[in-house]
Amino acid sequence: MVGLVGRVTGTVGPGLVGEVMVRIRGGSEHFLAYPAAAKERLDPGTVVMVVEYHAPRTVYVEAAYGT
């Protein structure tokens, strides 16, 4: 999971449980998401990279291309 790229579908930010779609196993799957940097806010449509994974469906993400 770590290193995979996805797209934010529900705002990820401080105090929020966001949602991302991650390309995995030949398709895309939804995961609950938190920002890797505590104060970072990622809006829907932002391309992100998974930096930490907690089974079964939680990821920590950061912007893939800088902001």
The CATH number of domain 5-63 is 2.40.50.140: yes
Per-residue pLDDT of 4-53, as tens digits, reads: 999 999 999 999 999 999 999 899 999 999 999 989 999 999 999 999 99
Ranges of beta strands (E only) in the chain are 5-10, 18-24, 27-35, 47-54, 58-63
Quote the pLDDT of residue 25.
Answer: 86
Residue 67 has pLDDT above 70, yes or no: no
Q: pTM value? A: 0.91
Give the amino acid at 3. Answer: G
